[in-house]
Structure 1
Amino acid sequence: MPKLLNLISLRHIIKGGSSKPVSIQAEDENGKVSSYVLKLFKKKHVDQNYSSAKEILGVELAKDFDLPVSDYGIINFDHKYLKSFFDDKYISELDIGYKFCSELKEGMVIYDSSGTNRFLKNYDLENVFGFDNIILNTDRGGYRYKPNLLVGDDDFLLIDHETILPHYTSGSIEEQINYKNKFNSYIYTNHIFYNDLKKKRKKGIMFDETIMHLSNFDLKKIDNIFADFDKFNITCGNKNKCYSYFKWLKDNINDVYNTLNNRLFNG
């Protein structure tokens, strides 16, 4: 279940985020005060793309694939407190429901492929690439080359998952979704780790860990996540679009494994 947060203070807008994230201080249910990154999504994006729900999904799925993410919570408050940062028109367009917050990790910076983060091991690159292929994440790299990866002196964190699972939107019809085509059409060549992995590939032994986590993934977790969405009225649409996709992945796990390897050896 997401941590429920109470707002203490709004600090400043964080530069560079498309959703105009805000640095805040908030208190959790145990009275612990921490700094968080508050994601502000417009109502139309929440209604169409389930942006807040996907942020939570991304974090929870990453945990099951043993990938590092920040602790997170959800928060709601009167939008009048945003007037010091945004104009009335922008505020009026924001979703009024619970908002996603990820705990702010001091000392971490955006990943830079120039060579300053060489502590990342081959298996780190492999596991992040495999995970993003599975969740169809085109936003860790992509056309605008947004790394959406924070690094410290010897660790890293995955961030920003509001665009994952592009078939899971208000405009798609479940009965018409071809999950095989969705997986096969994923644009993997723009991923931040694709070129590095192409150079370091080892035929026949790639993505074993990713596939192990997919095999062990319990579909009941999706039920539990969506139960929380319902509890807190977080706009999430049809659960089956998400559930059915992961069931397809698990039912076709050998094909998924072969496709991941082929993307590096034949791509």
Structure 2
Amino acid sequence: MFPTYKAIKLLRVIDAVHGHTEPWVVLCEGENKLEAFVVKIFTEEHLLEKPRVHGEFCGTWMAGEFDLLTPEVAWIEMDQDFIHSLPPELEQKLDFHDDRLKFGSSMLSTFQHFPPGIKNSQFEKYLPVDRLFAFDNFIRNSDRGSHKPNLLLTPDEDAFLIDHEYALEIDSSTISDFENSNLPGRFSSTHITYPVLVSGSANQKHHYFEEFEIYLRSLNLKDFRKVLMEVENQGYHAEIGMIMDYFHYIQANPTTFVNLLKRQVL
């Protein structure tokens, strides 16, 4: 489902202040062109904490299904020639025995990080804020708050979602939490769109998440499972059965899910 690009040259390392890891900006070759990709270098410790690579690819795929923008993503191959071209301090960060393909996200040519204190009316020009709120709650992504919006704005007034490594925060208690109307604040009250949504008028709140529910009902979870399996087949592990159970549950109970979201922003 996703293309594979070959790493050619390291361009720079992104400072960790912008994220939980230090992604690399790498010049890559594929489909007869050279293109810069932001490549995530996850350690085995990172991957034991949560299914980060599954989260990245699944978050990107799912965003497209809800008509939200993300940069192009691809598998990035780092062969021995590339590895040996790295500065010694970076070469040591790669496990030579880990030859799995890496997750890469195309570098946008022009953008700014979501600015703090942006006016509600400006925010709403870039994307439907209620759909973004619902989307991150749906994929269980707690990593789009004011401290780290993971949202890139372009001069064309488009907003691109990035960094979904914290998505798929799903465990054996997730479904029962929903059955008990429990939605933790890390998915709701700390979300970047929360102040906009709670300040809406009664009429606006009445219509929140209507479009999201339409997308949810038509979502093809068979294709979603293909994404999970593609990542799994590259040697990364996730509890796919439990993840699929959660998404099937939400899709089977769309109105209940939407009503729970509405209660968070009343």
TM-score range, shorter chain: 0.7 to 0.9
3-state SS of paired residue (2:89): coil
Deviations 1:182-219 (A, max 9, x none): 67333210011101111124232110111111111111
Identity, in percent, stands at 24
Distance 2:13 2:39 in 1: 9
Distance 2:205 2:123 in 1: 23
Does the Cα contact within 8 Å between 2:4 and 2:76 map onto a contact in 1? yes
Q: Which residue of 2 aligns with 1:135?
A: 139
Matches within 5 A, 1:195-206: 195-201=195-201, 202-206=204-208
Q: How many residues align?
A: 254
Distance 1:112 1:123 in 2: 15
Q: Aligned letter for 1:190?
A: T
Q: Which residue of 2 aligns with 1:224?
A: 226
Q: Which residue of 2 aligns with 1:125?
A: 129
Match of 2:105 among 92, 102, 106: 102
Does the Cα contact within 8 Å between 1:42 and 1:93 map onto a contact in 2? no
Distance 2:191 2:143 in 1: 8
Distance 2:252 2:183 in 1: 19
Match of 1:164 among 163, 167, 185: 167
Does the Cα contact within 8 Å between 1:73 and 1:100 map onto a contact in 2? yes
Does the Cα contact within 8 Å between 2:126 and 2:153 map onto a contact in 1? no
Q: Which residue of 2 aligns with 1:184?
A: 182
Deviations 1:42-94 (A, max 9, x none): 11222341211210011011111110001010112137347417356533499
Q: Which residue of 1 aligns with 2:34?
A: 33
Shift of 1:114: 2.0
Matched, 1:51 2:44: no
3-state SS of paired residue (2:198): helix
Q: Aligned letter for 2:169?
A: P
Q: Aligned letter for 2:100?
A: G
Shift of 1:237: 2.3
3-state SS of paired residue (2:122): coil
- What TM-score do the two structures reach when normalised by structure 1? 0.86
Distance 2:132 2:194 in 1: 10
Shift of 1:165: 1.8
Q: Aligned letter for 2:32?
A: G
Q: Aligned letter for 1:224?
A: K
Distance 1:125 1:180 in 2: 27
Kindly tell me: are residues 90 and 106 of structure 1, through their superposed partners in 2, closer, same or farther at Cα, counting changes over 3 Å?
Answer: same
Q: Which residue of 1 aligns with 2:246?
A: 245
Distance 1:133 1:17 in 2: 20
Kindly tell me: are residues 213 and 186 of structure 1, through their superposed partners in 2, closer, same or farther at Cα, counting changes over 3 Å?
Answer: farther
Distance 1:104 1:92 in 2: 25
Q: Aligned letter for 1:84?
A: P
Kindly tell me: are residues 87 and 32 of structure 1, through their superposed partners in 2, closer, same or farther at Cα, counting changes over 3 Å?
Answer: closer
Q: Which residue of 2 aligns with 1:68?
A: 69
Q: Mind listing any 5+ residue stretches in structure 2 that lack a counterpart?
A: none
RMSD: 2.4
Q: Aligned letter for 1:130?
A: A
Kindly tell me: are residues 85 and 65 of structure 1, through their superposed partners in 2, closer, same or farther at Cα, counting changes over 3 Å?
Answer: farther
Match of 1:21 among 20, 23, 36: 23
Does the Cα contact within 8 Å between 1:68 and 1:158 map onto a contact in 2? yes
- What TM-score do the two structures reach when normalised by structure 2? 0.87
